[in-house]
Amino acid sequence: MTQHVVECQGVSRTYQDDAVPVHALRDVDFAVDSGEFVSLAGPSGSGKSTLLHVIGGLDRPNAGAITVDGEDINALGDSELADLRLNKIGFVFQAYNLIPVLSAQENVEFIMQLQGIDAAERGDRALGTLDSLGMRDLADRRPGEMSGGQQQRVAIARAIVTNPVLLLADEPSANLDTGTTGELLELLKRLNKERGVTILTATHDPMVMGYASRQVHLRDGEIVSE
């Protein structure tokens, strides 16, 4: 029996918008195995981001059970969810979401710092990861001094440097040009192949879908095809 990294059973998420319920997710059954590179596809509003959010513990489902690396998310409090994100999940958001007052290297070290890893090891790992993304020379720059593609690479470095069980990426290529997107995807693929990082990404971008090992299509909050 293989252990699923992510397992969703009967997950629903309903938003109450002006008294009209919006069903962002309806009774979704979904699983991701270790080492997979899964891409969520579907039209705008189909629930891709919502699914990533409930899996990442940023949002809570109205119904259904979710386990991440064997942990039942519904059973966790806010602080425990924070710990889960800290220790098991790497996030890459559409808007890179770097900490503006920290340099690239410090941003990459941030999560390790929260984890309590000592300075020497942090520095080595951060520089090593930045190096593997071709960003070593920019280690001392702050986010404001980098291009979008560079910032996204720092965000990815930050997400993977701690070897998370799961990497969640929501529209990672939305703000990037085609060339940069290609590089980014190669990078994700390499991470998936070489480091065995499990990746779950949501995207409109056909280029991203092409790189994934499996595609899942959503429509109106339901999985329509795999």
44 binds, among Mg ion, another protein, ligand ATP, none (CB under 5 to 8 A by kind): ligand ATP
Tokens of 165: 């069980």
Helix (H, G, I), strand (E, B) or coil at 26: strand
Q: Which of 63, 102, 127, 174 binds another protein (CB under 8 A)?
A: 102
Measured from the CB of residue 162, what is the shortest distance to another protein in angstroms? 9
Angle at 212 between CA 214 and CA 13, to 5 degrees: 65
Pick between residue 28 and residue 98 the one whose CB is nearest to another protein: 98
Tokens 């065995």 appear where?
196
| Interacting residues with another protein between 107 and 166 (CB under 8 A) | 110-111, 113-114, 116, 158
223 binds ligand ATP (CB under 6 A): no
Could you say which of ligand ATP, Mg ion, another protein, none residue 207 binds, taking C-beta under 5 to 8 angstroms by partner kind?
none
Q: Residue 103 or residue 201: which is nearer to Mg ion going by CB? A: 201
Site for another protein in 56-85 (CB under 8 A): 56, 58-59, 78-79, 82-85
Exactly one of 26, 35, 45, 132 binds ligand ATP (CB under 6 A); which one? 45
Q: Which of 27, 21, 14 is nearest to 64 (CA)?
A: 27
Asked whether the beta carbons of 169 and 92 are under 8 A apart, the reply is: yes
Closest listed residue to residue 154, CA positions, set 175, 177, 129: 129
CA distance 120 to 137: 19
Q: From the list ligand ATP, Mg ion, another protein, none, which binds 39 (C-beta under 5 to 8 Å, kind-based)?
A: none
Instruction: Please state the closest distance from residue 22 (CB atom) to ligand ATP, in A.
Output: 5
DSSP E strands in the chain: the ranges are 4-17, 20-33, 37-41, 63-68, 71-72, 89-92, 166-170, 198-202, 214-219, 222-225
15: partner contacted, choices ligand ATP, Mg ion, another protein, none (Cβ within 5-8 A by kind): ligand ATP
